[in-house]
Chains A and B, each alone.
Chain A
Amino acid sequence: MALPSLTTSQRSIRMVESVKERALRWSQAQAATAHRKPVDAPFKRLIDVWFAGIAWAIAHGIRPVDKCTGDKFVSVGPTNQDVRYQQSRTDFLTLIAIHEFGHEDARAQDPSAIIDLANRYAEAGIEPLLAQLDAARELSVPALYKVADIFMDKYAAAVEGHQRTY
């Protein structure tokens, strides 16, 4: 049995406006500018940067903000105006909610609560992520390489010494 989808209803994805401006520099798809190449903008969409912020927070043990202060920049859902969001990412968000709220807590199965938790994690993790990305941008090495290097380091830190089997 698969985890239930979070996008049967429209859900708002939020980001602080100032952060959003910085995050857009790493996103290929932008409304105002032409499509950029992956080598210059490693993330396809802004929601991918948003999710990376979530992962970055969890990887670094950063707690979510208490209350999301960001503005909606996109909605995920079933309508044509909504972003199609892959199931694996909503699965990750469900696992985060189960982990955060506990399996007996009803919020663990509440899509609104799950998305809200995600927005709060994102708001907490995206800032340090962008700080590191922006620091890397100063170098002459292409952004993609730098982002890949950063995430390789994080990957290595997360996996190395991990003895658990599943």
Chain B
Amino acid sequence: MIRFDSIRVVNFALYTDVALHFSQDPDRPLTLIRGQNESGKTTLMRAFLWALFGQTALPRIPDARHPVRPVWAKPGESPRTRVEVRFRAGSDRGVSFFKLTRAVDTSDNGDAVAYGNESVALLRRDGDDWKEQEDEFQLLLKQFFRPEMRDFYFVDADKAVEFVGGPEGRHNDQMMRDMTTQSIRALLGLDMMLKAKDRMDDRQTSYLKQAGSQSSAAGQQDLVKELEDKDEAFKTATNRLAELAAQEREHENTLKNAEHELEESLSKLEELSATNVQYEEVTRKLNDARLKQNELLNELAACLDDDRLFAALLLPVIDGVMDKLQPLKDKGYIPPSELTLLPRLLSRDKCICGTDLLPGSVPRKHIEDQISKAQSLRGQSQMLDAALETARNFGNRAVGNVDRTWKELTESIYKELGNIDPVILQLTEQQEALREERDKAGATTGALRELQKHRDELRNMLDTLRDRRKASEVDVERLQREVRSLRERIRVAASNEKRTQHARCCAEVAEHLQTVIGAAYDVIEREQVLDVSRSMNTIFRNVISATSDSLFGEVGIRPVATQGFTKQYEVYTMEGNREKPLALANGASRRAIGVAFVLALAEETRTKVPLVADSLLHAMSGAVKYKIVDYLTAGDRIGQPVLFGTRTDLLDDEVTELLKRRAGKTYTLTSQAHAGGDVVRAVPAAKCAKQVVICDCEIDQVCPACERAGDQARIAEGRLTLRQNSEVLA
């Protein structure tokens, strides 16, 4: 339930700053706003529409100034326009009071009006304060003032004619059906139900798609199987890693021990190095001694081949030769002297004694025989001489006359051998002793080599183990990631499955809701549209055209075609039992049927929204006006009736009387544009000549601001009262 409390219009077109309050009196629910043509009724209506729905609610008038900008504003001026509507919204939880304010700056450069810096604020009253509804004001506004229902909140007779296909002579069935269908759907909530049903359908489709896309139970089973395999591989790899780590630790300890043992062995080896040096020294000395010994032995062996030894052993021979040959030597037989004379004699062929020594002669032959014999003995003598000399030489050597004797030589060698033998013995013993120690060292060296080899092997094994352990770590990390990934995928799959189930449930719910909405729609459509049709017929027959000469016996709403799930409606008219084409209705009948339709809809939604009707009573007979006002203001058929009308429309006495009883608030708009016309006294313009003034004169009152030509006669007749102290707004 929405009820307007007031509207304040500041710097809006013809208005500088006016505030109107709407009737809240349940016995006098009507708010009447009257004014002659061009007095500002429509402008005030636009201010209402602009405040509630914004610029889109304003008419587009080509080549016209912007309907918001104050008419008195000069180019270059940027006045701020503001309209404030206060209303209350009731529900089962109580009534809340709101204040909606829309403001905008306009500027005019001479060619066009700029519209900017617009602000909208919705505030809720909280005690004495107003709190801005920042986050939800758009939602609230749409909830309170649905844009599609705008033409029913603010309706006029001309607008009502569109519901029956337009003015006389320009009838348009399609426009009639579209307007009728749109208004029925909007006001009865059918469009919302259709939207809701469409949304449910969309949601159902969406949920089914979700369910289809996320349904992966089989895939989830595969993932679980894969996870089990990976988990097993991960455990195996983890155990393998643990084994490798244990082996690595074990090898590290073994290597540590081996290196410790190696260090100890190295230490021992260093201790034995001195022994090695000694051993080498002794060995060297021993080798030298043995070498010397060998030399001496070779010398001793050479002694056994020495001529001095054999000369000594052969001294008997030497002495015998000496004894034989030395006398011959002493006698000059050996060596023999040279025969020099005889050859010379032979060459002279004559002896020194004078004997001829001619070849072939006996003397010569004798001499030649002597020479030959002498030469023969000379060879033997020479050999014997050599033998003598040889024997002498050997003899001298045997007894040591020429050099050291063989004995001396041999004894010296013996002596040296005798000296060196104990040395060799001693060195051999030392070497043996040192060898034993060296062997130990050698053993240590061997052990050291073995330890080094063992250590190197351990290092290699440790390196291999570390490499394998690192590879295993990488493997474990990879498997761990894969397991995590699989778990996440399974979790997602499970979540998807859950969402799938949820989506299926939602789709099912959406389907059910569609069924419910469809059923409700059918009921509403069938029942409520029928109610609207009946109300419309009742209003038309009993309120608007309840005359005997009416052309139409029955009017109403009926479905004419189906557009898928939805139906289209039209206004129908019957004459007797026969349908009469709506296109044949004249202007008055069209307004009557249109108004009946609007009022029927308003009646069906009476508790929801106010009805702001402009010129609704225009061109209607007095009886009809009376019944319409009565219909609008009696009881609670219409939520909050606000009627705009000319004074002329309301001159009927019965209507005036009825309005006096039913109008809780009455405002009269007077435009200075009429000054010099039928307005008796113009109020001095504050801004410009077009400025509207508003007074709160009742329906049977006039004041200096609104008095018009001819009112004096009515005042004189007692049909009007002249007020001198009316409240005038400008």
**In-complex Cβ contact of A152 among B391, B401, B407 (8 A):** B407
Check B384–A103 contact: CB distance below 8 A. yes
**Residues 308-335 of B contacting A (Cβ, < 8 Å):** 309-322, 324-325, 328, 335
Task: Check if B301 is an interface residue, CB within 8 A of chain A.
Answer: yes
Check A155–B321 contact: CB distance below 8 A. no
Task: Check if A113 is an interface residue, CB within 8 A of chain B.
Answer: no
Check A99–B386 contact: CB distance below 8 A. no
Check B382–A148 contact: CB distance below 8 A. no
Check B382–A144 contact: CB distance below 8 A. no
Check A151–B309 contact: CB distance below 8 A. yes
Check B313–A152 contact: CB distance below 8 A. no
Check B399–A159 contact: CB distance below 8 A. yes
Check A109–B313 contact: CB distance below 8 A. no
Complex alpha-carbon distance, A158 and B385, angstroms? 25
Check B316–A162 contact: CB distance below 8 A. no
**In-complex Cβ contact of B317 among A39, A96, A166 (8 A):** A96
Task: Check if B410 is an interface residue, CB within 8 A of chain A.
Answer: yes
Task: Check if A136 is an interface residue, CB within 8 A of chain B.
Answer: no
CB within 8 Å for A95 and B387 given contacts A55-B313, A158-B315: yes
Task: Check if B297 is an interface residue, CB within 8 A of chain A.
Answer: yes
Task: Check if B414 is an interface residue, CB within 8 A of chain A.
Answer: yes
Check B304–A166 contact: CB distance below 8 A. no
Interface residues on A, range: 35 or more
**In-complex Cβ contact of B310 among A4, A51, A99, A102 (8 A):** A51
**Chain A, 56-97, contact with B by CB distance < 8 Å: what is the 0/1 string?**
101101000000000000000000000000001101101110
A144 to chain B: which residues have CB within 8 Å? Answer: 297, 300-301, 304
CB within 8 Å for A159 and B324 given contacts A144-B300, A148-B300: no
Check B383–A155 contact: CB distance below 8 A. no
Of listed B314, B315, B405, residue having the most chain A CB within 10 A: B314
Task: Check if B550 is an interface residue, CB within 8 A of chain A.
Answer: no
Q: How far is the CB of B579 from chain A (nearest CB, A)?
A: 156
Task: Check if B165 is an interface residue, CB within 8 A of chain A.
Answer: no
Check B304–A151 contact: CB distance below 8 A. yes
Complex alpha-carbon distance, A77 and B350, angstroms? 49
Check B313–A165 contact: CB distance below 8 A. no
9 further contact pairs, Cβ within 8 A, besides A1-B382, A59-B313, A95-B317: A52-B304, A92-B311, A98-B321, A99-B316, A151-B304, A158-B312, A164-B319, A164-B322, A166-B393
Check A95–B391 contact: CB distance below 8 A. yes
CB within 8 Å for A38 and B313 given contacts A4-B383, A109-B380, A155-B407: no
Complex alpha-carbon distance, A92 and B451, angstroms? 71
Check A58–B304 contact: CB distance below 8 A. no
Task: Check if A131 is an interface residue, CB within 8 A of chain B.
Answer: no
Task: Check if B406 is an interface residue, CB within 8 A of chain A.
Answer: yes
Check B320–A99 contact: CB distance below 8 A. yes
Q: How far is the CB of A92 from chain B (nearest CB, A)?
A: 6
Closest B residue, CB atoms, query A38: B301
Complex alpha-carbon distance, A156 and B300, angstroms? 16
**In-complex Cβ contact of A98 among B301, B307, B313, B384 (8 A):** B384
Name A's B-contacting residues (CB within 8 A): 1-4, 37-39, 42-44, 48, 51-52, 55-56, 58-59, 61, 88-89, 91-92, 94-96, 98-99, 102-103, 109, 144-145, 147-148, 151-152, 154-156, 158-159, 162, 164-166
Closest A residue, CB atoms, query B398: A159
Complex alpha-carbon distance, A103 and B387, angstroms? 10
Complex alpha-carbon distance, A16 and B501, angstroms? 130
Complex alpha-carbon distance, A44 and B392, angstroms? 27
Check A58–B297 contact: CB distance below 8 A. no
Complex alpha-carbon distance, A95 and B401, angstroms? 20
Q: How far is the CB of B298 from chain A (nearest CB, A)?
A: 6
Q: How far is the CB of A38 from chain B (nearest CB, A)?
A: 3
Complex alpha-carbon distance, A31 and B391, angstroms? 35
CB within 8 Å for A38 and B321 given contacts A92-B310, A148-B414, A165-B401: no
Closest B residue, CB atoms, query A2: B386
CB within 8 Å for A92 and B314 given contacts A3-B390, A152-B410, A166-B322: yes
A152 to chain B: which residues have CB within 8 Å? Answer: 407, 410-411
Complex alpha-carbon distance, A145 and B393, angstroms? 28
Closest 4 interchain pairs by CB?
A38-B301, A166-B395, A55-B313, A59-B313
Complex alpha-carbon distance, A98 and B307, angstroms? 19
26 of the cross-chain contacts (CB-CB < 8 Å) are A2-B386, A3-B383, A4-B383, A38-B297, A55-B309, A59-B313, A89-B310, A94-B387, A94-B390, A95-B314, A95-B321, A95-B391, A99-B321, A99-B324, A103-B324, A103-B387, A144-B297, A147-B304, A154-B312, A154-B313, A158-B315, A159-B399, A159-B407, A166-B322, A166-B391, A166-B399
Task: Check if B15 is an interface residue, CB within 8 A of chain A.
Answer: no
A148 to chain B: which residues have CB within 8 Å? Answer: 300, 303-304, 410, 414
B401 to chain A: which residues have CB within 8 Å? Answer: 165-166
Task: Check if B305 is an interface residue, CB within 8 A of chain A.
Answer: yes
B410 to chain A: which residues have CB within 8 Å? Answer: 148, 152, 155
CB within 8 Å for A156 and B407 given contacts A1-B385, A99-B320: yes
A59 to chain B: which residues have CB within 8 Å? Answer: 313-314, 316
Check B319–A61 contact: CB distance below 8 A. no
B316 to chain A: which residues have CB within 8 Å? Answer: 58-59, 61, 99
Q: How far is the CB of A49 from chain B (nearest CB, A)?
A: 10
Closest B residue, CB atoms, query A56: B313
A56 to chain B: which residues have CB within 8 Å? Answer: 313
Task: Check if B238 is an interface residue, CB within 8 A of chain A.
Answer: no
Complex alpha-carbon distance, A51 and B305, angstroms? 10
Task: Check if B394 is an interface residue, CB within 8 A of chain A.
Answer: yes
Complex alpha-carbon distance, A56 and B314, angstroms? 9
Of listed A154, A162, A166, residue having the most chain B CB within 10 A: A166
**Residues 202-229 of B contacting A (Cβ, < 8 Å):** none
Task: Check if B55 is an interface residue, CB within 8 A of chain A.
Answer: no
Closest A residue, CB atoms, query B379: A109
Task: Check if B396 is an interface residue, CB within 8 A of chain A.
Answer: yes
B298 to chain A: which residues have CB within 8 Å? Answer: 38
Check A103–B328 contact: CB distance below 8 A. yes
Complex alpha-carbon distance, A2 and B401, angstroms? 20
B387 to chain A: which residues have CB within 8 Å? Answer: 3, 94-95, 98, 103
Complex alpha-carbon distance, A42 and B321, angstroms? 30
Q: How far is the CB of B338 from chain A (nearest CB, A)?
A: 14
A55 to chain B: which residues have CB within 8 Å? Answer: 309-310, 313-314
